[in-house]
Amino acid sequence: MTSPVTIGYVEAGSGPVLLLVHGFPLDHSMWSEQLSALSDLRRVVAVDLRGRGKSPAEPNGWTMDDYADDLAATIDELGVDKADVAGMSMGGYVVLALWRRYPEKVRSLILIDTKASADSDEAKEGRDKTAALVREKGASELVEGLLPKLFGGPPDEELSQKVKAMFEATPGGTAAADALAMKDRPDSTVNLATITVPALVIHGEQDALMPIDDAKGMAGLIPGAKFVSVPGAGHMSPIENPKAVNHALRVFLMDR
């Protein structure tokens, strides 16, 4: 474990805090559509996890629990007792760790294109290979292999370039630390039944990395959770179909 740090973020709007946590190997800019669309309803805060963007840090190894500690420290820094917390993919792992460690800081919990289960042995081997690759050559080396798997269909050039730019901006050491943190994360399936706050699961219908049926199963284990499928989207639903994702978030948050 490392000491928690207050991480950087961008924000828009006012009111109760909605904390947005990005995926791998991305940054706060993946949430640009949500920042603009939901700022009339929430104080929308999109963070950069440590080691990238507005949160520079030496990538000396960290865990999902370290990320969760950082989020807790940031919620305190924002001057609020608790927040609506949403995480996409790796960000979902972080949000589940935050619930496990600091449930009193979570007003509601939103899981987007993510899963609760731990990595299989095969997946862990893949994480090791990814870490070695990006440590040596940088996160940009993941673009060719990973980028096509992120979308439900061929993305337009603007969307592709936006995601590619995030890959390229993430330091290789940070991406390696992310990969190893994901590899070593615990299975959070057992924690789903303990979630006592309102919960929403959002998932792209064409997600090739994390099948939608698994996401439906995860939602079924969270008491009272709502599930929303996103048409025309794969693993990057907040970017691929922001209109549908923003509508799902708005309907959910207006009830809070």
Residue 6 has pLDDT above 90, yes or no: no
Residue 140 inside a domain? The answer is no
pLDDT of 108-159, one tens digit each?
Answer: 999 999 999 999 999 999 999 999 999 999 999 998 888 889 999 888 889 8
Q: Which residue has the tokens 């963070």?
A: 47
Per-residue model confidence as pLDDT tens digits over 205-251: 999 999 999 999 999 999 999 999 999 999 999 999 999 999 999 99
Cα angle for residues 72, 48, 213 (degrees, 5° grid):
85
Residue-wise pLDDT for 9-28, tens only, equals: 999 999 999 999 999 999 99
pLDDT confidence of residue 148: 85
Which residues have a Cβ under 8 Å from the Cβ of 241 and sit 6 or more positions away?
204, 230, 231, 232, 233
In a domain, 113, yes or no: yes
Where is average pLDDT lowest: 44-48, 73-77, 252-256? 252-256
Do the domain assignments include residue 148? no
Q: Which CATH number is 233's domain given?
A: 3.40.50.1820
| Structural domain boundaries, residue 92 | 9-117+187-254
> What domain count does the chain have?
1
* 160 located within any domain: no
Measured CA to CA in angstroms, residue 161 lies from 30, 90, 207 at distances of 12, 21, 20
**Confidence label for 39 from pLDDT (cuts 50, 70 and 90):** very high
CA dist list (Å): 183 to 88, 168, 240: 17, 22, 26
Question: Within a domain: residue 122?
Answer: no
Query: CA-to-CA distance for 170 and 149, rounded, in angstroms?
Result: 19
Q: What is the pLDDT of residue 154?
A: 84
Contact 204, 92 (CB under 8 A): no
CA angle centred on 153, ends 22 and 110, rounded to 5°: 30
The torsion defined by the Cα of 13, 51, 152 and 230, in degrees rounded to 10, comes to -30
Residue 220 placed within a domain = yes
Residue type, 86: A
Mean pLDDT value across residues 193-213: 97
> How many Å apart are CA 246 and CA 240, to the nearest integer?
11
- Check residue 144 and give its pLDDT: 85
State residue 1's pLDDT score: 62
Closest C-alpha to 86, from 66, 65, 114: 114
pLDDT at 146: 87
Q: Let me know if residue 223 belongs to a domain.
A: yes
Q: Give the mean pLDDT of 163-186.
A: 95
